[in-house]
Amino acid sequence: MINIAVLGHGVVGSGVVEVLEKNSQSIGQKAGEQINLKYILDLRDFPESPYRDKFVKDFEIIANDPEIKVVVEVMGGVSPAFEFASRCLSSGKSIVTSNKELVAAKGDVLLALAKENNANFLFEASVAGGIPIIRPISQCLAANEVFEISGILNGTTNFILAKMIKDGMEFSEALSLAQQLGYAEKNPAADIEGHDACRKICILASLAFGYHVYPDEVYTEGITKITLEDVRCAELFGGAIKLIASVKRNNDGTVFIVTAPMIVSFDSQLAHIDGVYNAVLVRGDAIGDVVFSGRGAGKLPTASAVVGDVIDSVKHLKARKYLYWDKSKTGYVRDINEDIASFYVRAKASDSTKAIAGIKEIFGEVQIVLEENGEIVFKTSVNTVGETYENLKKLEQNGCEILSRIRFFDIGAEQ
Amino acid sequence: MINIAVLGHGVVGSGVVEVLEKNSQSIGQKAGEQINLKYILDLRDFPESPYRDKFVKDFEIIANDPEIKVVVEVMGGVSPAFEFASRCLSSGKSIVTSNKELVAAKGDVLLALAKENNANFLFEASVAGGIPIIRPISQCLAANEVFEISGILNGTTNFILAKMIKDGMEFSEALSLAQQLGYAEKNPAADIEGHDACRKICILASLAFGYHVYPDEVYTEGITKITLEDVRCAELFGGAIKLIASVKRNNDGTVFIVTAPMIVSFDSQLAHIDGVYNAVLVRGDAIGDVVFSGRGAGKLPTASAVVGDVIDSVKHLKARKYLYWDKSKTGYVRDINEDIASFYVRAKASDSTKAIAGIKEIFGEVQIVLEENGEIVFKTSVNTVGETYENLKKLEQNGCEILSRIRFFDIGAEQ
């Protein structure tokens, strides 16, 4: 019998307890050992809980109990999760976490600690909730050179965008609905500003390409400025606006990494991922494009991913799972302005004819798809992001107001 | 250093050799041991091959060489692949195969042999080529009750159907194009009659629900009778025709399993899987719907899945991977006529008014969506498959000619 502890009894934590209890017999069979939940750490009281005897408020009880072999960290936030996880790993206890903030901020340190102490640090649930993705990527990586990972990694923003696209809701209205349904928090900044998706692509980038990438190294743009006009224009270009988080490895070993709304062609599977679903596209040399999709969040999907890792860490108590990346290095994440892309631009001008002449002068060959009510919609040709931004500035100096500019997502469309 | 042998030097076999050589350094790192390709078994001569020194024609050389720890079987067919694999497993050599015919026909026997001899029998490449699916399903199963697996498991038929749907090609024309492009064989029966997809769903069913299912226990219908009229009618119902292979577990532990063209709602991701792509939908209690998609066939995707398994079997030479199912049992696969479904029906009658009256009398409430040129298109309400077939017979006796009847695919549409 293996004793485990769960740190935190919020949504995910109580889900983990529920899944462990409900499927305890089959989980025991799969792990090869019965799994016993010995402690639940939470500062609150749960007098009605059937597990009330297991609650403790002092982390030291867990840290100092040699019987505890695996600790599930589902508290969220970097502190004290980091200190608790470090203490556990240092004494050879394996850690399973769903905490993307922790992994994105401290993954390299915790993986190194796990390695030193022959323990596991597993975090399948930190990216894309219940979709198995960390392990399939490790597997894709085994016999492939993976050179790009892109995905829809935040269900809340995907729900909001889908409501705008399919039901013609305004952003604010869709956000309110998401909050009513419990998909968005009262303070939705982490989701709608792209920070949550950014943390997850940092984790996938670190895993796939071997060096830790910190969220503050990533150009991140949210969806708060997307309007229904943008949604309609994206359709004119044969695509849908999605919040895409993407990392690409360059031939020199550096990476471009970005989180931003992008226009995704209807030819790409990612354009058809709706509602609170997530999807991750992995592109490798031998394998081509592989897409994994499913519910990216929610109590039970996330809990099931956590429990899957618990089973795995129990099976690998002696033989550590190989999961590792190095510390970050200078110059590894390249300036996103050096990346190349093409953009959709919506501009407003009092004199359309003059404005179009200006656009052609500044951007060279462009595809103008709409011109009405003083608004001009066009697609820039492929150029560096930096130069495109410079050109947009010139256009403003020329008397045009730039209402929107959204990058085209260029992969996954090869079907 | 671990020595391996590859049985067969056809498309997949030569791809395996290519991937092993191209990525040998990183593969060695991931496996924790250098992997040395010692023998390639093929009856043909390859005097120009850079690996010509490794070719042998006599399987006994491989079987009797104690240095060989892992044998890759990529010959295809049940015999002699089964005899060779059995010999290897019996002497403790692990087997990695891409041969779905072998796994569907003899998986239970080979898994039992592997267990007895503490060897691995791995077959990730046998289903959906390069898409990691066997392992993710095992992982989904770990903390979930999975109750349904459905998918597009044959790229050739998906290519043909996509050409009919998107480009308005007739079936025969699309088949010729698939043959020209090398997606379909000269004798395309195994693909277009559904046998290939059927073998793959047998493997997934056996893996997910624990008992071996044989292909001849599965109701299997191909796509040869699908016409452009059917494609257009499917669109009227808001869906696309896909060749779906599906298994569902009933509450009493029995399963329904079927391979047939079905109308898939555009709300389902499976409707948007085009070209030679495959997709597998796994539905579980905690996880909800998860979809895995990618290229289902091709030299390099399949080879990369094989090499992934080789790496895994090298890492698990001592500690066997847990992958197992029991022999089949009587009454486990239920008669598909007892399954419930609703169907699209296209019927022809000289007297439409009389025919519609007959349809309503026989089927009760139905949704008639089209009535032109003596053809009537309707959707039956949900009923047992058997009773629906009986009703269709009655309709024929009533003077209607049944031109088509295609089942609606009912899952994956919950987004």
Q: Give per-residue pLDDT as tens, B225-260.
A: 999 999 999 999 999 999 999 999 999 999 999 999
Q: What is the mean pLDDT of chain A?
A: 93
Phi and psi angles of residue A242, each rounded to the nearest 5 degrees, phi first = -130, 150
pLDDT of residue B139: 76
Looking at residue A145, what is its pLDDT?
A: 85
B131: chain A residues, CB-CB within 8 Å? 287, 290
Are A298 and B289 within 8 A, CB to CB?
Answer: no
| Closest residue of chain A to B30, computed from CA coordinates | A142
What backbone phi and psi angles, to 5 degrees, belong to A410? -110, 5
Burial B339-378, CB ≥16 within 10 A → b, else e: bebbbbbbbebeebeebbebbeebbeebeeeeeeeebbbb
The distance of B288 to chain A (nearest Cα, Å) reads 7
Instruction: Let me know if residue B74 belongs to a domain.
Output: yes
pLDDT of amino acid A412? 36
Contact A406, A234 (CB under 8 A): yes
Residue among A143, A291, A304 whose CB faces B293 most closely: A291
Pick B30 or A206 by higher pLDDT: A206
Tell me the count of A-B CB pairs closer than 8 A. Answer: 157
DSSP secondary structure letter of residue A126: G
Please check the confidence at residue A384 and state whether its pLDDT lies above 50: yes
CATH number of the domain enclosing B364 = 3.30.70.1150
Asked whether the beta carbons of residue B287 and residue A293 sit closer than 8 angstroms, the reply is no
Least CB–CB distance from A311: residue in B143, B301, B307: B143
Q: Do A143 and B19 touch (CB under 8 A)?
A: yes
- Chain B: closest CA distance from residue A284 (Å): 9
In a domain, A327, yes or no: no
Please name the member of B130, B141, B311 whose beta carbon is closest to the beta carbon of A286: B130
CA distance A404 to A347: 7
Residue B216 lies in a domain: yes
Share of chain A above pLDDT 90, in %: 79
Report the chain A residue with the minimal C-alpha distance to residue B31: A142
Q: What are the tens digits of pLDDT across the range A142-180?
A: 778 899 999 999 999 999 999 999 999 999 999 999 999
State the residue for tokens 């070209």: B275
Chain B positions touching A415 (Cβ under 8 A) are 274-275, 277
Low-confidence winner among A62-66, A317-321, A377-381 (lowest mean pLDDT): A317-321
CA distance A30 to A32: 5
pLDDT class of A362 with cuts at 50, 70, 90: very high
Radius of gyration over alpha carbons of chain B, in Å?
A: 23
pTM: 0.91
Burial class of residue A412, CB neighbours in 10 A (0-12, 13-18, 19+): buried
| Chain B CB contacts of A314 below 8 Å | none
- Helix, strand, coil percentages for chain A (3-state, nearest 5): 40, 25, 35
Q: Give the domain CATH number at A238.
A: 3.30.360.10
Which residue of chain B is at minimal alpha-carbon distance from A323? B30
B169 plus B233 within the same structural domain: yes
User: Which distant-in-sequence residues (6+ apart) come within 8 Å of B231 by Cβ?
Assistant: B161, B164, B165, B240, B241
Most B CBs within 10 Å, among A269, A274, A317, to test the B interface: A269
Q: How far apart are CA A10 and CA A275, in angstroms?
A: 24
DSSP structure class, residue A88: H
Q: CB-based burial of residue A64 (10 Å sphere; 0-12 exposed, 13-18 middle, 19+ buried)? A: exposed
User: Are A226 and A158 contacting, i.e. CB atoms less than 8 angstroms apart?
Assistant: no
Question: Do B237 and B261 fall within a single domain?
Answer: yes
Q: Is the pLDDT of residue A67 over 50?
A: yes
Q: Work out the minimum CA distance from A108 to partner chain B, whole angstroms.
A: 19
Q: Two tokens at B166?
A: 């998107």
Q: Nearest residue of A to residue B414 by CA position? A: A275
Residues A240 and A170 in one domain: yes
B412 neighbors B282 (Cβ within 8 angstroms): no
Whether residue B364 sits in one domain with residue B291: no
DSSP at A381: P
- Residue A415 within any structural domain of the chain: no
Let me know whether B291 and B224 are in one domain.
yes
Contact by Cβ (8 Å): B237, B207: no
CA distance B175 to chain A (A): 18
Determine which of A33-37, A383-387, B26-30 has the lowest per-residue pLDDT on average. B26-30
Would you say residue A324 lies in a domain? Answer: no
Q: Is A228 inside any structural domain?
A: yes
**Do residues B222 and B78 both lie within one domain?**
no
How confident is the model over B59-85, as pLDDT tens digits?
Answer: 999 999 999 999 999 999 999 999 999
The shortest CB-CB distance from B269 to any of A136, A287, A293 is to A293
Measured CA to CA in angstroms, residue A98 lies from A218, A278, A303, A309 at distances of: 21, 16, 8, 10
Closest approach of chain A CAs to the CA of B297, in angstroms?
Answer: 10
Distance from CA of B397 to the nearest CA of A (A): 44
Instruction: Report which of A403, A311, A365 is spatially closest to residue A70, judged by C-alpha positions.
Output: A311
Same domain, residue pair A166 and A217: yes
Residue B132 CB-half CA count within 13 A: 30
Contact across the interface for A304 and B130, Cβ inside 8 Å:
no
Residues of chain A with C-beta less than 8 angstroms from the C-beta of B315: 322
Nearest of A265, A291, A308 to residue A30 by alpha carbon: A308
Inter-chain contact A135–B131, Cβ cutoff 8 Å?
no
User: Same structural domain for residues B59 and B110?
Assistant: yes
Does some domain include residue B326? Answer: no
Tokens 């399949």 locate to: B302
Instruction: Tell me which residue in A145, A288, A322 faces B295 most closely, judged by beta carbons.
Output: A288
B139 and A130 within 8 Å at the Cβ level: the answer is no
Same-domain status, A144 and A231? yes
Same domain, B216 and B347: no
Query: Which tokens hold the place of B177?
Result: 């194009």
Q: At which of B263, B295, B327 does a domain end?
A: B295
Among all chains, which residue has been given the structure tokens 């593969």? Answer: B27
Task: Say if residue B34 is in the same domain as residue B125.
Answer: yes
CA B258/CA B338 separation, integer angstroms = 12
CA-nearest residue to B319 within chain A is A319
**SS3 state of residue A347:** strand
Nearest CA in chain A to B324: A30
CB contact under 8 A, A294 and B311: no
Contacts B285 to A, Cβ<8 Å: 300
Sheet-wide strand order for B35-41: B55-56, B35-41, B2-7, B68-73, B94-97, B121-122
Residues of chain B with pLDDT under 70: 319, 321-322, 411-415
User: A143–B23: do the CB atoms touch at under 8 Å?
Assistant: yes
If DSSP states are collapsed to H, E and C, what string results for B292-343? EEEECCCHHHHHHHHHHHHHHHHHCCCCCCCCCCECCCCCCECCHHHCEECE
Q: Is residue A210 part of a domain?
A: yes
Rounded CA-CA distance B302/B127 in Å is 9
* Predicted confidence (pLDDT) at residue A414 exceeds the cutoff of 60: no
Min distance A94 CA to chain B CA atoms (Å) = 18
Q: State whether B154 and B276 are in the same domain.
A: yes
Question: What is the predicted pLDDT for the residue at B295?
Answer: 87
CA distance B400 to B262: 22
The answer to whether B415 contacts A275, with C-beta atoms less than 8 Å apart, is yes
- Show which residues of A are catalytic: 200
Average pLDDT score over chain B: 93
Nearest CA in chain B to A303: B286
- Tell if the CB–CB gap between A143 and B305 is shorter than 8 Å: yes
Token pair belonging to A119: 């323990």
SS (H, E, C) chain B: CEEEEEECCCHHHHHHHHHHHHCHHHHHHHHCCCEEEEEEECCCCCCCCCCHHHEECCHHHHHCCCCEEEEEECCCCCCCHHHHHHHHHHCCCEEEECCHHHHHHHHHHHHHHHHHCCCCEECHHHCCCCCCCHHHHHHHHHCCCEEEEEEECCHHHHHHHHHHHHHCCCHHHHHHHHHHCCCCCCCCHHHHCCHHHHHHHHHHHHHHHCECCCHHHCEECCCCCCCHHHHHHHHHCCEEEEEEEEEEECCCCCEEEEEEEEEEECCCHHHHCCCCEEEEEEEECCCEEEEEEEECCCHHHHHHHHHHHHHHHHHCCCCCCCCCCECCCCCCECCHHHCEECEEEEEECCCHHHHHHHHHHHHCCCEEEEEECCEEEEECCCEEHHHHHHHHHHHHHCCCEEEEEEEEECCCCCC
**Do the Cβ atoms of B243 and B154 come closer than 8 Å?**
yes
Please give the residue range of the domain that contains residue B18.
2-129+300-315
CB contact under 8 A, A293 and B294: no
Q: What is the pLDDT of residues A220-254, one digit of tens each?
A: 999 999 999 999 999 999 999 999 999 999 999 99
Other CB atoms within 10 Å distance of the CB of residue B168: 12
Number of folded domains that form chain B: 3
Cross-chain Cβ contact A142/B308 below 8 Å: yes
Cβ contact B285–A272 (<8 Å): no
Q: pLDDT per residue over A120-132, tens digit each?
A: 999 999 998 888 8
Task: Give the per-residue pLDDT at A287.
Answer: 85
Q: What is the pLDDT of residue A140?
A: 75
Q: From the CA of B365, how many Å to the nearest CA of chain A?
A: 31
At residue A74, the 3 state secondary structure works out as coil
What pLDDT shows up at residue A298? 83
Which CATH number do you get for residue A100?
3.40.50.720
CA A243 to each of CA A224, A270, B207: distance values in angstroms, whole numbers, following the listed order: 11, 10, 36
Instruction: With beta carbons less than 8 A apart as the criterion, state whether A122 and A138 touch.
Output: no
Which candidate from B141, B288, B294 shows the least CB-CB separation from A295?
A: B288
- Among chain A residues, the shortest Cα distance to B294 is held by A290
Q: Calculate the alpha carbon distances from A362 to A372, A380, A400, A406 in Å.
A: 21, 10, 12, 18
Say yes or no to pLDDT of A413 above 50.
no
Query: Would the CB atoms of A142 and B312 count as touching at under 8 Å?
Result: yes
